[in-house]
Structure 1
Amino acid sequence: MTAVQTQTFQTLPALSSYENKVPLMICFAPNWPIRTVLFRIVGTALILGSATMWIFPGSNLSADLALMKLGTSLFFLLCGLALLMMHHVDNQPEAYFDSIRREVRVLQKNNRGRPQTVLRRSYDSLGSVRFNEHFVELFDVDGSLLMRLPIETAEIRHTLRTQLSDHVTISA
């Protein structure tokens, strides 16, 4: 009975090391936040324009003009919805840092909304990593920029730095 108890106590530190290696997920940010704001303003204007077409009275309400008005309003509505959903948060890929498998995976949602692996790289195949106050940059072996990810808090930056410190060169 005592041999089994000592064996159980010896496996507890192994479990606690798994708890320290929590996978980390970071979302990509759009390149130009101004562009997303502009797309949202134009998309909202197109949707409102498609509705106001029918509110204001027209001078001539013949069947041909009503059909053209319907086609134009549907076009404005669909284009406005497309502009609103173009840079939506749900459409952005996510970088998943897995410390157990020692790899980074880029996941993007497919048409059904399920995450799909777009890129998979082991920590050993990465060239270097550079940490900044607001983002982290991953470089390939040849020095080209692989990805730049925004970091929201200092805790995420510290966790990612400890995950990558043993496997990837961290440049200043």
Structure 2
Amino acid sequence: MAVTENIPMNGAGIVSPRGLYAMAEALPLVLSFRPNYQLRSIVLRVVGAAMVLSSTGIWLMPGEAYDPEMALIKIGISVFFLFAGIALMMVNDPDNHPDAYFDPIRRELRVLQRSGQGRPRTVLRRGYDSLGSVRFKDRSVELFEIDGSLLIRLPLSLGSTRKLLREQLSGLVPILS
């Protein structure tokens, strides 16, 4: 509430362009790494769950009950299905994806990854002055090193996020067209 008190608004209570820039100056901008394909995530989870269920279901198949060679093969297949199914179900876990924070006060980019206990841990910290350039694409933003190599590519879902990020980085980082 205290942040919005000093933001210029017009008579209708809508934030003016100067107010939008003031908000961009005051608040950090957060971009999350999320899987772009929701269908892929759902399919992997369903296939993973089917593999976990089939690891126990293989023992319900009819066959000779006392064949030791077949029992050894069933154990190997069920252990493989169990671990592969668990891996497929966890591959797109949203808690495993890092978040990128663009801090206008410190003028730095921070990438935070959650640890096993849920605590954020900084995996990348770069000042805006150490970035080479930035390029805005249709649905992403790319940050480049000073030598021109790609540092990080972040997905952008909203046009307002693109505008706020462009305003925050303009004048500090060269923007490529």
Tell which deviates more after alignment, 79-88 or 41-50: 41-50
Match of residue 15 from structure 2: none
Note the C-alpha offset of 1:32.
Answer: 8.5
Larger Rg: 1
Q: Which runs of 5+ in 2 are unaligned?
A: 8-18
- Pairwise mapping of residues 107-126 of structure 1 onto structure 2 (< 5 A)? 107-126=112-131
- Pairwise mapping of residues 130-145 of structure 1 onto structure 2 (< 5 A)? 130-145=135-150
Question: In structure 2, how many angstroms separate the alpha carbons of the residues matched to 1:142 and 1:20?
Answer: 28
Question: In structure 2, how many angstroms separate the alpha carbons of the residues matched to 1:118 and 1:158?
Answer: 26
Q: Is the 8 A contact 2:24 2:167 kept in 1?
A: no
From 50, 62, 65, the equivalent of 1:61 is: 65
Change (3 A) 1:163 1:153: same
Q: Is the 8 A contact 1:29 1:149 kept in 2?
A: no
Question: In structure 1, how many angstroms separate the alpha carbons of the residues matched to 2:135 and 2:152?
Answer: 11
- Pairwise mapping of residues 5-20 of structure 1 onto structure 2 (< 5 A)? 13=6, 17=22, 20=25
Note the C-alpha offset of 1:56.
Answer: 2.4
Change (3 A) 1:39 1:18: closer
1:96 aligns with 2:101: yes
Change (3 A) 1:63 1:56: closer
Q: Percent identity of the aligned residues?
A: 49
Match of residue 78 from structure 1: 83
Runs of 4+ in 1 over 3 A off after TM superposition: 16-20, 29-42, 63-72
Per-residue CA distance 1:69-124 (angstroms, 9 max, x = gap): 34532331122111221232221121111111110011112232221111100011
RMSD (CA atoms): 3.0
Question: In structure 2, how many angstroms separate the alpha carbons of the residues matched to 1:103 and 1:130?
Answer: 17
In the superposition, the TM-score normalised over structure 2's length comes to 0.74
